[in-house]
Amino acid sequence: MRYYVLFVIDLKSRRVEIAGIAHQPYDAWMCNVGKGLLDQVDGFLMHTRYLIHDRDPLCSRTFRNALALGGVQSVEPQVITGSPVLRRKRLGGMLSYYYREAASRRSGSGPLRADLSRPIRPRHRS
């Protein structure tokens, strides 16, 4: 069985939050998760101006409009060139690196939130 995990990384503070996990995500689910991220009390995107996301169809116009209503501008990055295999390897390496760092720096702020207090320096191999 496959599950989809929507996670958000605050690049400035290096905080990571799992926004939602779904077996079959759909547009209404994404909008609901977006509303939770924009919550005025403890929303992860409360003081955020931009959200960089991939070109997945789940980041629909409805989802982007919900973010815009909360004052968060949605930004799609440019397409990464190269073979699909190299792109998957780069993404997989980055995700596993951030997962290891988040797990090693887990704080007591909650089961799904990690506060990464010191900067992460990726170790690139040449």
pLDDT tens digit sequence for 28-51 = 999 998 888 888 888 888 888 888
Between 44 and 110, the more confident residue is 44
**Which carries the bigger pLDDT value, residue 34 or residue 76?**
34
- Pick the more confident residue, 54 or 85: 54
To the question of pTM greater than 0.75 for the whole model, the response is no
The reported pLDDT for the residue numbered 109 is 47
Q: CA-to-CA distance for 81 and 71, rounded, in angstroms?
A: 31
CA dist list (Å): 87 to 16, 71, 90, 92, 120: 22, 31, 5, 8, 21
**Domain range annotation of the chain:** 4-114
pLDDT at 8 exceeding the cut of 60:
yes
Compute the average pLDDT of residues 89-107: 69
Calculate what percentage of the chain has a pLDDT beyond 90: 5
Cα 116 to Cα 114: distance, rounded to the nearest angstrom:
6
